[in-house]
Amino acid sequence: MVKAVVLGAAGGIGQPLSLLLKANPLVTELGLYDIVNTPGVAADLSHISTPAKKALTNADIVVIPAGVPRKPGMTRDDLFKINAGIVKGLATGIATTAPKAFVLVISNPVNSTVPIVAEVFKKFGVFDPKRLFGVTTLDVVRASTFVAEILGDLSLSKSVAVPVVGGHSGVTIVPLLSQSSHPLPSSLSQDKYEALVKRVQFGGDEVVKAKDGAGSATLSMAYAGAEFAAKIIRAVNGEKGIADATGSSALASELGEKLPYFSSNVELGREGVVKVHPLGKITEAEQTLVKAAIPELTKNIETGVNFVAEAY
């Protein structure tokens, strides 16, 4: 018995994500909440339509794709002003109604919205880093697809596994291509390697540009969110040792106290994250990428923490 709840269910991500969760046989109840059109989506999916608090009651897993998406020329940080308040409000609802739920934050800027949820939970005394996740899975999905493209065989995209660590914007996204399950051709030039890294880091911009003002990734995000949620749902359902939960964790990493949030490959169990995998052996180029990610990620985390500190 697993109850999943989507906050922001009527949006570009929320609708297909709700559909995919509805199609997951392990989800026995689905709660939907949005500030607009929830009954329409709920009726469409033949699901319940209730106000947030009621929708959240007894939730095992809550996914949050609520908030505004990017338009061309915007960075994820430009969304902070609007989305920070939305996420803070929703986090308060979760803290008071479903404090034991696994929380998956999709709303951008993820690097700052995850600390916002954590800080709100701390205020309510319900923070459990093992259960809070920033959803960076789309970066993993993109990395797998782009590597399969380079290998010249798109049928591999499902089986290619590339760890992507760090955060979820620009230089904070660090693909560890040297650890790809399917190694890159040794003949790949330095230029092509760098272009691949850039494409993983800025893949979201391709979609924002192509949509030309109509938003950012929704379908690929719904797919990625449902993939990650499915792993969490299996863990909630009692399955042990689910590995490589596609790179998302709010748990402190080996990088220490300075970076309390750093997405890493993790192992999941019923209680949440049971193990954070270390970065492992990485190349010099990847060490440089990690070094470049840290100052930006640190700044983003502080922005989220300060937002909540100033609000109370």
Catalytic residues: 168
Q: 14 or 247: whose CB is closer to ligand NAI?
A: 14
Could you say whether residue 103 binds ligand NAI (CB under 6 A)? no
Distance of CA 256 to CAs 8, 19, 65, Å? Answer: 33, 38, 29
Which residue lies nearest ligand NAI, judged by its C-beta? 11
When asked if residue 221 is in the footprint of ligand NAI (CB under 6 A), the reply is: yes
Binds ligand NAI (CB under 6 A): choice among 6, 32, 138, 208: 138
Q: Cβ neighbours of residue 85 under 8 Å, at least 6 residues apart?
A: none
Of 6-14, 244-252, 258-266, 274-282, which segment contacts ligand NAI by CB under 6 A?
Answer: 6-14
The nearest distance, CB 238 to ligand NAI, in angstroms, is 27
- Where does this chain touch ligand NAI (CB under 6 A) — which range of 20-28, 82-90, 175-183, 231-239? 82-90
Number of CB atoms found within 10 A of residue 67's CB: 23
List the beta bridge partners of residue 124: none
CB atoms within 10 A of CB 292: 15
Answer yes or no whether residue 86 interacts with ligand NAI by CB under 6 A: yes
In contact, 109 and 297? CB cutoff 8 Å: no
- Nearest-approach distance from CB 163 to ligand NAI, in angstroms: 16
DSSP string, 228-291: HHHHHHHHHTT---B---TT---S--TT-TT-S--B--EEEETTEEEEEPP--S--HHHHHHHH
If binding is defined by CB under 6 A, does position 12 make contact with ligand NAI? yes
User: What does the alpha-carbon distance between residue 304 and residue 312 come to, in Å, rounded to a whole number?
Assistant: 13
Question: Does 135 engage in binding with ligand NAI (CB under 6 A)?
Answer: yes
The answer to whether residue 107 forms part of the interface with ligand NAI (CB under 6 A) is yes
263 part of the interface to ligand NAI, by CB under 6 A: no
Phi/psi of residue 275, each to 5°?
A: -155, 135
**Stretch in the footprint of ligand NAI (CB under 6 A) among 42-50, 211-219, 282-290, 292-300:** 211-219
d(CA 286, CA 307): 31
Q: Does 69 sit near ligand NAI (CB under 6 A)?
A: yes
Contact status: 168 vs ligand NAI (CB under 6 A): yes
**Residue 205 sits in the site that holds ligand NAI (CB under 6 A):** no
Touching ligand NAI, residues 24-63 (CB under 6 A): 33-36
95 forms part of the interface with ligand NAI (CB under 6 A): no
Nearest to 164 by CA among 289, 269, 275: 289
Instruction: Give 183's DSSP letter.
Output: P
Which residues of this chain interact with ligand NAI, rule CB under 6 A?
A: 7-8, 10-14, 33-36, 65-70, 79, 83, 86, 89-90, 106-108, 110, 135, 138, 168, 215-218, 221
